[in-house]
Amino acid sequence: MRRVHAPSIDSRGLGRALEQLRVVVRAKGLKRSGVRDAVARAALEYEGHFTAEELLSVVRAKGETEAHAATVYRVLPLLVEAGLIQESLLSAGQGQRYERAFERGHHDHIICTSCKKVVEFEFEAFEVLQRDVSERLGFRLTGHVHELFGICKSCQHTS
Give the model's confidence band at 57: pLDDT under 50 very low, under 70 low, under 90 confident, else very high: very high
Number of domains within the chain: 2
Q: Are residues 64 and 139 in the same domain?
A: no
- 33-51 pLDDT, tens per residue? 999 999 999 999 999 889 9
In this structure, what CATH number is given to the domain that contains residue 44? 1.10.10.10
Q: Are residues 95 and 115 in the same domain?
A: no
Q: Which residues lie across from 112 on neighbouring strands?
A: 150
**pLDDT above 80 (res 91):** no
**pLDDT above 60 (res 90):** yes
Q: Are residues 95 and 141 in the same domain?
A: no
Range of the domain at 152: 108-158
Q: Are residues 78 and 10 in the same domain?
A: yes
- 112-155 pLDDT, tens per residue? 989 888 899 999 999 999 999 999 999 998 888 788 889 999 99
Q: Are residues 62 and 127 in the same domain?
A: no
Q: How many CB atoms lie within 10 A of CB 39?
A: 28
Average pLDDT over residues 79-92: 83
Of 60, 77, 100, the residue that ends a domain is 100
Mean pLDDT of the chain: 90
**Quick one: three-class SS letters along the chain?**
CEECCCCCCCHHHHHHHHHHHHHHHHHCCCCCCHHHHHHHHHHHHCCCCECHHHHHHHHHHHCCCCCCHHHHHHHHHHHHHCCCEEEECCCCCCCCEEEECCCCCCCEEEEECCCCCEEEEECHHHHHHHHHHHHHCCCCCCCCCCEEEECCHHHHHHC
pTM of the shown model: 0.81
Q: Are residues 35 and 112 in the same domain?
A: no
Q: Are residues 16 and 83 in the same domain?
A: yes
Average pLDDT over residues 60-66: 82
In this structure, what CATH number is given to the domain that contains residue 117? 3.30.1490.190
